[in-house]
Amino acid sequence: MISFQNFILKISSLRFAISLIIFIAISSGIGTFIPQGNNKQTYIDLFDESPIFGFINGEKVLKLQLDHIYTSFWFLLALILLCVSLAACSFRRQIPALKASLQWTDYKNEKRFERLQLISNHQINYDGDYISKTNLFLKKHGWSTSRFENRLSARKGLIGKLGPIIVHIGLIVLLVGSAYGSFTSESKEQYLIPGESLDLINESTNSKATIKLDNFLIERESDGIPKQFISRLDFFSEDPKLNEIKTTKVNHPIRFKGLTIYQADWAVSNVVIEIDKILYQLQLKPIPEIGNQIWGILLELGEETKKNYLLTIDNENGPIKISNLENFAEKNLYLNGDSLEINSSELSLKKIVSSSGLIIKNDPSIPFIYFSFILIIFGTILSLIPTNQLWVLFNKESKKLLIGGLSNRNLLGFKKEFFKLSEEMQKF
C-alpha cells in the first residue's frame, strides 16, 4: 500500500508530467525527421551509410521502432503514463482543492484576519442588524454568502476552480484520441486531373461518395515560385441534399461525410503533342534523378533513322525541353507556339494537363481531437477567472467592523474592489 501511494505521489508530480511532455515532444520531432511507415529496406538504405548521431543505423531504427514512432510500444506507454499522471493530479490535488473551496470558512476572531491579503478595520455607528444588511448588499453585487451570528463569509468566481480540472480532462481526451487515431486512421494519396472522378467509401460509417475534380489552379509569385494550389471539387453521395461544391487548398482541408481531404501536391500528368500531323497524349512520370518536380518521357523520333529524345517539363505552362541523348543538345517546345523539327519529325505542343495531388484521410479520432480543443480552451478561460473571498466580522459592543479579503489571482484588481466595498459598508 505504501509503495502504491509513493507511486501515485511521484506520477502526479508536476516534474514527472513535464518530463513526459518533453519526451513526447522530442519523440514527435524525431518522427518528422525519420520517414514513417516505409518498408524495412528503406531504412537500411537510408541510415546504414549515414547513421543517425553517427551510430543509429537502419537495423537499430527498426529495433527501436523509430519507423513507426506514433504506434510504437514506448510512445503509447508515454501517452498512457501522461494520462494517468494528469488523472492522478486531478484526483489528488485539483478535486480536493475544489471540494475545500466549496466549504465555507468561518473566521470567528480577529487574529485569523491577520493572515489575509487585505484587511480593513473601521469604527462605525450602527445599532441595527449590520450583518443582515451587509449580506443583502454583497448579494446585490454578485457575491455568494454564508451568514453566521455576527459575521459572514462571501465569495465570487468559484467557477474558476473548475478550469484546471477541465483542462486536464481535455488533455486526456486529446491523448486518448490521438492514440486511437494512430491505429484506426486511414489515408491515401490520389492524383486527379480536371474532369476525373474518384469513388470514396468510408468503412467506419458505411457511406459512399464520389468526388470529381472540377478545376485545378496553381497560383505563383512574380518570380514563378508556387504560392498556392487550389482544387475545386464536386461531391456526390446517396443523399442528393448533401451534394455540394467545395474548394480545398494548402492548409485549408475540407470535410465530407467523415472524410478529410487535404491539398497536398500537384503534378504534370500528361501532354498532348502533335507529331507529323498526328495527335498523341503522352503520360509523364517524375524524374527525380534530374530534379525535384520534373516530369518527362522518352520518345522515339524520326522517320528514317529513329533516335531517342528525352522530353521534360517542370511547369504547368511549359515549355517542354527536348534533349538529344547523344549530344545533350536542348530545344524548347512552347504551348501553342511554333512547331519544331526534330530529326525530320515536326512537333507542336497543344495541351499541358496538370493533376491535383489530394490526400484523402479517414480519421475517426477527429471528433475527439476537436472536442479536446474545446475543453482545453474552455478550461483555460475558466482558469483565468479569479476566485475572490470576503470575511466580515462585526462587534456590536465595540462598534468595530473588520473586513478581510483573499484572491488567488489579479490581486491588484481585487484590491480596488475590496476597498470600494469596504468604503460603502462603512456608510450603513
Residue 313 located in a structural domain: yes
pLDDT in the model for residue 203: 57
Which residue carries 475540407 as its cell? Answer: 254
Residues 364 and 349: their CA atoms lie apart, in Å, by 46
Domain annotation covers residue 172? no
Q: 254-256 and 144-147 as β-strands: parallel, antiparallel, unpaired?
A: unpaired
CB atoms within 10 A of CB 78: 18
Alpha carbon 42 to its chain's center: 29
Q: Give the number of domains in the chain.
A: 4
Would residue 29 count as lying in a domain? yes
Q: Looking at the domain assignment, is residue 334 inside a domain?
A: yes
CATH assignment of the domain containing 395: 3.30.310.50
- b (16+ CB within 10 A) / e for 292-318: eebbbbebebeeeeeeebbbbbbbbeb
The answer to whether residue 228 is domain-embedded is yes
Residue 29 has a pLDDT of 84
263 and 361 in a single domain? The answer is yes
Radius of gyration (Cα) for the chain, nearest Å?
Answer: 35
* Residue 210 sits in the same domain as residue 93: no
C-alpha cell of residue 417 = 474592489
Regarding whether 184 and 76 lie in a shared domain, the answer is no
163 belongs to a structural domain? no
- Do 152 and 223 lie in one domain? The reply is no
Please answer whether residues 313 and 297 qualify as being in contact, where contact means their C-beta atoms are separated by less than 8 angstroms: no
Statement to judge: residues 245 and 363 lie in one domain: yes
Domain with 280, as residue range(s), is 268-352
pLDDT value at position 289?
A: 84
CA distance 84 to 8: 9
Q: Are 260 and 361 part of one and the same domain?
A: yes
Phi, then psi, of 317 in degrees rounded to 5: -105, 0
What is the spatial distance between Cα 367 and Cα 173, in angstroms, rounded to a whole number?
Answer: 10
- Burial (CB < 10 A; 0-12, 13-18, 19+), residue 423, is exposed
Cell of 110: 480577529
Helix or strand run (H / E) with residue 368: helix 366-383
Q: What contacts 24+ positions apart, CB below 8 Å, involve 347-351?
A: 347/273, 347/274, 347/275, 347/301, 347/322, 348/273, 348/274, 349/271, 349/272, 349/273, 349/318, 349/319, 349/320, 350/272, 350/273, 350/274, 350/279, 351/271, 351/272
> pLDDT value at position 66?
87
Measured distance CA(336)–CA(346) in Å, rounded: 14
Mean pLDDT for back-to-back runs of 10 residues, the chain (428 residues) = 66 83 87 79 80 82 87 87 85 82 83 87 77 90 89 92 91 87 80 88 64 89 84 82 83 83 90 91 89 88 85 90 84 90 90 91 84 93 92 84 90 90 83
Q: Do 74 and 109 fall within a single domain?
A: no
For β-strands 144-147 and 151-156, DSSP reports them as antiparallel
Residues 190, 70: one domain?
no
Tell whether 67 and 91 lie within a shared domain: yes
Q: Is 242 helix (H, G, I), strand (E, B) or coil?
A: helix
Please give the pLDDT value at position 207.
59
Q: Which of 55, 71, 98 is the last residue of a domain?
A: 98
Which of 301, 333, 352 represents a domain boundary (last residue)? Answer: 352
C-alpha cell belonging to residue 222:
512574380
* 363 and 315 part of one domain: no
Are both 254 and 294 inside the same structural domain?
no
Q: List beta partners, residue 323.
A: 310, 330
Q: What is the DSSP string of 38-74?
A: --HHHHHHHHTTS-BTTTB-HHHHHHTTGGGGGGSHH
Residue 115 forms part of a structural domain: yes
Please report the pLDDT score of residue 270 as a whole number: 92
Angle between helices 73-89 and 2-11 (to 10 degrees): 100
Which cell numbers in the block locate residue 202? 468510408
User: Same structural domain for residues 221 and 364?
Assistant: yes
Is 165 domain-assigned? no
> Model-level pTM greater than 0.75?
no
**Concatenated DSSP letters of 125-169:** ---S-HHHHHHHHHHHTT-EEEE-SSEEEEEE-GGGGGHHHHHHH
For residue 196, what is the domain's CATH number?
A: 2.60.98
